[in-house]
Every structure is written in C-alpha cells, then in structure tokens.
Amino acid sequence: MIIKQIPFKGLYEDIIDYINRGVSQKEDFAVFRNTGVGIKREEIIKSFIQNDRYRKNVKTRAQHIILSFHKKDRDNISNEMLYTLSDKFLKERGYDNCVVYGRVHHEENVHIHLCISQNYYLTDKSCDIPKKQYMQQNRNIETLQKERYSKELSNSLVYINSKERKKEQLQKTPKATIKNRVIDVLNELADRANSLSNLSELIQKEHQDIQVYSRGNQKYYGVKSGKFSFRFSSILRPERFEVLKRLELLKEIQERNQELSKEPPSLTR
C-alpha cells in the first residue's frame, strides 16, 4: 500500500470533518488511540485539543496519514485487513502512544485517513522520527501484508517491489549512464519528498548539477542534467509520481485556504 504522510498545522475540527465526510454510512471501520471512550465528533476533537496543550516548540499540530490500496484490489479488502495493516503501521512508526483517529474511504481505491497527534499522549515529546527510517518501516509493513494477504492485495505492494526493481537496462551511451544516475538520485529523493515542490527543493539543495524545468502550465515537468532532459514521468516510479502530484495539489489547496482565511472581512454584504 502507498503511505502518504502530510504534516498538518490547521484546526483539528477541519481534519476530523474532512476524514468523516468521505465515510460510507454502512462502513463501521474506525481507528482510535488514546481518545478515552469518545467516539463522537465533539469527543474526538476534545481529545486532540486536550493533548495538544502539552505540545511545546513544535509548529506541526498533527500528522495526516493516508494508507492507500490499489484500485484493482478494491473488492478483496476486508475490515480485518484494514485493522491488521493500520495497527502494524502505528506500531512501526511508534504512533500507538499518540492520539489517533481514522476512518476508511471507499472510493475508486480504498484508503484509510488517519489523524495523529504530533506529540505523544499527555507529554511534550514530539513523535517525529528520522525520515530515513520510513522506507524500512514501510517495507516491514508490506512484509506482513505479503505474508498474510499476498493474493488479496497482490497489486498493492509498492515498497518491496521498488527495492527489488532492477535498474533500467540501457546501452552504454553517455545519455544512458546519466539517465541511470538520475533515476537512482530522483527515486531516492522522491521517497523522502512530500510533494513535487518539496522534491524540487531537495534536488536544488543536494544535487546542484540537476535542474528542474517546467513546460506549459506544468511547473514541475522534468529535470535537466548536462545536455540531456528527462521527464519526471519517465524517471520516477509511476506510483510514487502519482502520489507526489496528488500531494502537491493538496498542498496548493491548503495554501489557498490559508490565504483566504487571512483576508480581512468584507464591509459590505
């Protein structure tokens, strides 16, 4: 499954309402950690706010996590699978000790939305861990997924397959050599990035010999290395490229909403 992790700095009411809006009335799957006996909207929000009072010197209020399965596996997914894999995710990341609320959305593909407090339950300690640990944790989760649900979720293996994927076989030409290097560099950065703009920032910071370029209305179209150009769609793993595009869109929406909230109220009706 694809794991998307987005730092959240807004209001708990907004993210809880967002999670609840996509829930089917017939679907009873839910994830709770350290919310007491609260299962209603107001009780869950209150649990996050009470815990948030302990947070210090950390701007991020929560982590918005999305655990997403391939659309081809949609009809094979059960609540038992969702409970098992979401529980494994929380334990791998160490989020079991945070305030957690999550629900499943049954759309074109099945995905779980989780809101996770940035600080551990009733402490001022942040739950942040080094991002370099994420990939190994993701593979640990998929190892369990493969062991228990290899047939049902055969299309939803991402991180194990990316590790086993062989480098593209090209002839020994200058362009092939450069392309192989760019493939390695960009896919490693893409696993750490949380949007296309963040990927661009990582490229500029860590690899000055590679430049991001745009085309038309696509701001992040590809990269240039030497005299050669490569499209992101031909360099990045397709599933990761799609994730970054969606995260970039979500980031743009959140930024527009923040700008609108800063506008002074109108004096006319």
Distance between CA atoms of 136 and 114, rounded to whole angstroms?
A: 20
Question: Is residue 148 a part of any domain in this protein?
Answer: yes
- For the stretch 215-260, pLDDT in tens is 988 899 999 998 899 999 999 998 889 999 899 888 888 888 777 7
Residue 173: its pLDDT value, please?
54
Q: Are 109 and 236 members of one domain? A: no
Question: Is residue 249 a part of any domain in this protein?
Answer: no
Question: Is residue 210 a part of any domain in this protein?
Answer: yes
Q: Domain span at residue 175?
A: 166-243
Q: What SS3 class is residue 61?
A: coil
Residue 170: its pLDDT value, please?
42
Q: Are 105 and 218 members of one domain? A: no
Q: Are 150 and 187 members of one domain? A: no
Question: Is residue 45 a part of any domain in this protein?
Answer: yes
Q: Is residue 67 within 8 Å of residue 89, measured between CB atoms?
A: yes
Q: Are 145 and 229 members of one domain? A: no
Q: For the chain, what is the domain count?
A: 2
Q: Are 176 and 89 members of one domain? A: no
Residue 127: its pLDDT value, please?
93
Q: Are 126 and 218 members of one domain? A: no
Question: Is residue 255 a part of any domain in this protein?
Answer: no
Q: Are 28 and 142 members of one domain? A: yes
Cα dihedral 166, 168, 171, 173, rounded to 10, equals: -120
Q: Are 97 and 132 members of one domain? A: yes
- For the stretch 72-113, pLDDT in tens is 999 999 999 999 999 999 999 999 999 999 999 998 899 999
Distance between CA atoms of 97 and 95, rounded to whole angstroms?
A: 5
Q: Are 7 and 124 members of one domain? A: yes
- For the stretch 131-165, pLDDT in tens is 889 999 999 999 999 999 999 999 999 888 765 55
Q: Give the strand pairing for 30-33 and 210-215.
A: unpaired
Q: Are 126 and 214 members of one domain? A: no
Q: Are 6 and 116 members of one domain? A: yes
38: CATH:
3.30.930.30
- Please count the CA atoms within 13 angstroms of the CA of 85 that sit on its side-chain side: 34
Residue 266 has pLDDT above 60, yes or no: no
* 202: enclosing H helix or E strand: helix 196-206
Question: Is residue 264 a part of any domain in this protein?
Answer: no
Residue 264: its pLDDT value, please?
61
Q: Are 147 and 222 members of one domain? A: no
Q: Which two tokens stand for residue 84?
A: 């098992």
- For the stretch 22-78, pLDDT in tens is 887 667 799 999 998 768 899 999 999 999 999 988 889 999 999 999 999 999 999
Using the Cα atoms of residue 234, residue 237, residue 239 and residue 244 in order, give the sign of their dihedral: negative
- For the stretch 171-217, pLDDT in tens is 445 777 888 889 989 999 998 999 999 999 999 998 988 999 999 88
Distance between CA atoms of 126 and 163, rounded to whole angstroms?
A: 30
In this prediction the pTM is 0.62
